[in-house]
Amino acid sequence: MFVETYLFFDGQCAEAMAHYQRVLGGDLQVMRYQDAPPCAQCPNMGADTQDRVMHAILKFPDGALMASDVPAGDTYEGIQGVGVTLNFPGLDDARRTFDTLADGGSVQMPFGPTFWAEGFGMLRDRFGTPWLINGPMIMPNV
């Protein structure tokens, strides 16, 4: 089994995923609703949805971050009840990533040492995505 994270946005998916690629690296692929082939499983989206992202994937050697925009007019309550966790083997990379993602967002727990990692911090970035950043782990099974 392989677990991956899928995020939903309200019209900011392309901007958010491009930002995550700048911060994290990886190969980004984006498909907008207007570029999708017609199919019976896909609802007929209005003109105000066509430029939104139907599916985006940021691929890494060991995983992926996926996302899309909700169709225009759909209820969007933000990303709630989850957090995207990143584990780094080096403290400097973890701290740099935390600081970059925190820019324009809000810090819930400042980056610092914990009993399970040399550095850990929690934040919600400017797109509303909650992140938990670890690096390096002291207790790898926690």
CATH number of the domain at 84-134, out of 3.40.50.1170, 2.30.30.100, 3.10.180.10, 3.20.20.370? 3.10.180.10
DSSP code of residue 37: P
pTM reported for the whole predicted model? 0.92
Topology alike, domains 5-69 and 84-134: yes
For the chain, domain boundaries:
5-69, 84-134
Kindly tell me the burial class for residue 4, based on how many C-beta atoms sit within 10 Å of its own C-beta (0-12, 13-18, 19 or more). exposed
CB atoms within 10 A of CB 65: 23
Q: Which residues pair with 27 in a beta bridge?
A: 59
At 63, phi and psi to the nearest 5? 160, -165
Taking only the tens place, the pLDDT of each residue in 4-36 is 999 999 999 999 999 999 999 999 999 999 898
DSSP reduced 3-state for 48: coil
CATH topology of domain 5-69: 2,3-Dihydroxybiphenyl 1,2-Dioxygenase; domain 1 (3.10.180)
Taking only the tens place, the pLDDT of each residue in 83-123 is 999 999 999 999 999 999 999 999 999 999 999 999 999 99
Distances, alpha carbon 81 to alpha carbons 7, 78, 84, 85, 131, in Å: 12, 10, 11, 13, 12
